[in-house]
Amino acid sequence: MANDKPKPQPRPQRPPEKKTVWVSCRAKAGCEGKQAIIVFSNKTPGGGHVTRYRCTKCGGAFHVQV
């Protein structure tokens, strides 16, 4: 067999860049954080979407459903 070269390995996928957005913290009472990182965003079956954020000040996580 003339074509016995090994197949090239697929490139590893890069993790998606975490986007920082301006949103008031809803994770902990009394936190005055105004910036959060989007952890993930999913569409809901009835329409709209759910987004999970992580506050950059207190580190707490919270969801917003629209």
Whole-prediction pTM: 0.71
Q: E strands within 1-66?
A: 20-22, 35-43, 49-55, 61-65
> Is residue 11 domain-resident?
no
Whether residue 26 is contained in a domain is answered as yes
Q: How many structural domains are present in the chain?
A: 1
Tens of pLDDT, residue by residue over 7-66, are: 888 776 666 678 899 999 999 999 999 999 999 888 898 889 999 999 999 999 999 998
What does the pLDDT read at residue 55? 96
Dist. CA 51–CA 35, nearest whole Å: 14
Segments forming the whole domain that contains residue 59? 20-65
The answer on pLDDT for 2 being more than 80 is: no
Q: CA 64 to CA 14: how far, in whole Å?
A: 26
Residue 46 lies in a domain: yes
